[in-house]
Structure 1
Amino acid sequence: MFSFIGRGIFYIFVGSITMGWKWWRYTAGALIVLVGIGYVALEFVPSIEPPANMRDADQGWGAEQV
Protein backbone atom coordinates (compact mmCIF):
# COMPACT_ATOMS: atom_id res chain seq x y z
CA MET A 1 0.00 0.00 0.00
CA PHE A 2 3.04 2.29 0.12
CA SER A 3 3.72 2.32 -3.63
CA PHE A 4 1.61 2.54 -6.77
CA ILE A 5 2.47 -1.06 -7.68
CA GLY A 6 1.58 -2.40 -4.25
CA ARG A 7 -1.71 -0.53 -4.17
CA GLY A 8 -2.48 -1.62 -7.74
CA ILE A 9 -1.82 -5.29 -6.99
CA PHE A 10 -4.07 -5.03 -3.93
CA TYR A 11 -6.92 -3.56 -6.00
CA ILE A 12 -6.45 -6.19 -8.72
CA PHE A 13 -6.63 -8.92 -6.06
CA VAL A 14 -9.73 -7.49 -4.38
CA GLY A 15 -11.43 -6.97 -7.74
CA SER A 16 -10.69 -10.51 -8.85
CA ILE A 17 -12.18 -12.05 -5.70
CA THR A 18 -15.20 -9.72 -5.95
CA MET A 19 -16.17 -10.95 -9.42
CA GLY A 20 -19.08 -13.37 -9.53
CA TRP A 21 -21.57 -14.91 -11.91
CA LYS A 22 -24.11 -12.12 -11.75
CA TRP A 23 -23.58 -9.16 -14.06
CA TRP A 24 -23.47 -6.53 -11.27
CA ARG A 25 -20.79 -8.44 -9.33
CA TYR A 26 -18.74 -8.93 -12.48
CA THR A 27 -19.07 -5.22 -13.35
CA ALA A 28 -18.05 -4.10 -9.86
CA GLY A 29 -15.06 -6.45 -9.85
CA ALA A 30 -14.00 -5.35 -13.32
CA LEU A 31 -14.11 -1.68 -12.27
CA ILE A 32 -11.93 -2.39 -9.24
CA VAL A 33 -9.46 -4.34 -11.42
CA LEU A 34 -9.32 -1.40 -13.86
CA VAL A 35 -8.50 0.96 -10.97
CA GLY A 36 -5.73 -1.45 -9.96
CA ILE A 37 -4.32 -1.49 -13.47
CA GLY A 38 -4.40 2.31 -13.42
CA TYR A 39 -2.35 2.39 -10.21
CA VAL A 40 0.22 -0.02 -11.67
CA ALA A 41 0.45 2.17 -14.79
CA LEU A 42 1.06 5.27 -12.64
CA GLU A 43 4.28 3.68 -11.36
CA PHE A 44 5.78 3.90 -14.86
CA VAL A 45 4.78 7.52 -15.61
CA PRO A 46 7.78 9.67 -14.65
CA SER A 47 5.84 12.94 -14.43
CA ILE A 48 3.53 11.60 -11.67
CA GLU A 49 5.00 12.05 -8.21
CA PRO A 50 3.73 9.79 -5.42
CA PRO A 51 1.91 11.47 -2.53
CA ALA A 52 3.71 12.18 0.75
CA ASN A 53 2.48 9.01 2.46
CA MET A 54 3.90 6.84 -0.34
CA ARG A 55 7.41 8.33 -0.49
CA ASP A 56 10.49 6.61 0.89
CA ALA A 57 11.03 8.50 4.12
CA ASP A 58 12.78 5.94 6.38
CA GLN A 59 11.13 7.46 9.42
CA GLY A 60 9.65 4.22 10.65
CA TRP A 61 6.50 3.77 12.66
CA GLY A 62 5.60 6.47 15.13
CA ALA A 63 7.97 9.07 13.67
CA GLU A 64 5.34 11.78 14.09
CA GLN A 65 5.59 11.44 17.87
CA VAL A 66 8.40 13.28 19.63
Structure 2
Amino acid sequence: MFSFIGRGVFYIFIGSVIVGDRWWKYTSGALIGLVGLAYVVLEYIPSIEPPANMRDADAGWGAEQV
Protein backbone atom coordinates (compact mmCIF):
# COMPACT_ATOMS: atom_id res chain seq x y z
CA MET A 1 0.00 0.00 0.00
CA PHE A 2 3.05 2.29 0.12
CA SER A 3 3.73 2.27 -3.62
CA PHE A 4 1.62 2.44 -6.75
CA ILE A 5 2.52 -1.16 -7.63
CA GLY A 6 1.62 -2.48 -4.19
CA ARG A 7 -1.68 -0.65 -4.16
CA GLY A 8 -2.42 -1.78 -7.73
CA VAL A 9 -1.73 -5.44 -6.97
CA PHE A 10 -3.97 -5.19 -3.91
CA TYR A 11 -6.86 -3.76 -5.97
CA ILE A 12 -6.36 -6.37 -8.70
CA PHE A 13 -6.51 -9.10 -6.06
CA ILE A 14 -9.66 -7.70 -4.46
CA GLY A 15 -11.27 -7.32 -7.90
CA SER A 16 -10.50 -10.94 -8.75
CA VAL A 17 -11.99 -12.11 -5.45
CA ILE A 18 -15.20 -10.14 -6.06
CA VAL A 19 -15.83 -11.50 -9.59
CA GLY A 20 -18.72 -13.94 -9.50
CA ASP A 21 -21.48 -15.46 -11.59
CA ARG A 22 -23.87 -12.49 -11.59
CA TRP A 23 -23.47 -9.42 -13.78
CA TRP A 24 -23.15 -6.97 -10.87
CA LYS A 25 -20.36 -9.03 -9.31
CA TYR A 26 -18.55 -9.28 -12.63
CA THR A 27 -18.93 -5.54 -13.28
CA SER A 28 -17.78 -4.45 -9.83
CA GLY A 29 -14.83 -6.86 -9.86
CA ALA A 30 -13.79 -5.70 -13.33
CA LEU A 31 -13.98 -2.02 -12.33
CA ILE A 32 -11.86 -2.57 -9.22
CA GLY A 33 -9.39 -4.61 -11.26
CA LEU A 34 -9.13 -1.79 -13.81
CA VAL A 35 -8.44 0.69 -11.02
CA GLY A 36 -5.66 -1.62 -9.84
CA LEU A 37 -4.24 -1.77 -13.35
CA ALA A 38 -4.30 2.03 -13.50
CA TYR A 39 -2.28 2.21 -10.26
CA VAL A 40 0.33 -0.17 -11.70
CA VAL A 41 0.59 2.00 -14.83
CA LEU A 42 1.05 5.13 -12.68
CA GLU A 43 4.27 3.62 -11.29
CA TYR A 44 5.89 3.81 -14.74
CA ILE A 45 4.88 7.38 -15.62
CA PRO A 46 7.82 9.57 -14.55
CA SER A 47 5.86 12.84 -14.41
CA ILE A 48 3.49 11.45 -11.73
CA GLU A 49 4.95 11.74 -8.23
CA PRO A 50 3.59 9.61 -5.42
CA PRO A 51 1.78 11.45 -2.61
CA ALA A 52 3.61 12.30 0.61
CA ASN A 53 2.23 9.32 2.51
CA MET A 54 3.80 6.99 -0.09
CA ARG A 55 7.19 8.73 -0.12
CA ASP A 56 8.07 8.95 3.56
CA ALA A 57 7.75 5.81 5.63
CA ASP A 58 8.34 7.84 8.83
CA ALA A 59 5.65 10.44 8.14
CA GLY A 60 2.69 8.17 8.87
CA TRP A 61 1.06 6.95 12.04
CA GLY A 62 3.22 6.73 15.13
CA ALA A 63 5.94 9.02 13.81
CA GLU A 64 5.46 11.78 16.35
CA GLN A 65 8.37 12.56 18.62
CA VAL A 66 7.79 12.21 22.34
The alignment's TM-score, normalised by the length of structure 1, stands at 0.90
Deviation at 1:65, TM superposition (A): 3.6
Matched, 1:59 2:58: yes
CA distance in 2, matches of 1:5, 1:58: 16
**Which residue in the other structure is 2:8 paired with?**
8
**Which residue in the other structure is 2:43 paired with?**
43
CA distance in 1, matches of 2:30, 2:57: 35
The alignment's TM-score, normalised by the length of structure 2, stands at 0.90
Unmatched segments (≥5 aa) in structure 2: none
* Equivalenced residues, count: 65
CA distance in 1, matches of 2:43, 2:3: 8
Deviation at 1:58, TM superposition (A): 4.8
Deviation at 1:62, TM superposition (A): 1.9
**Which residue in the other structure is 2:18 paired with?**
18
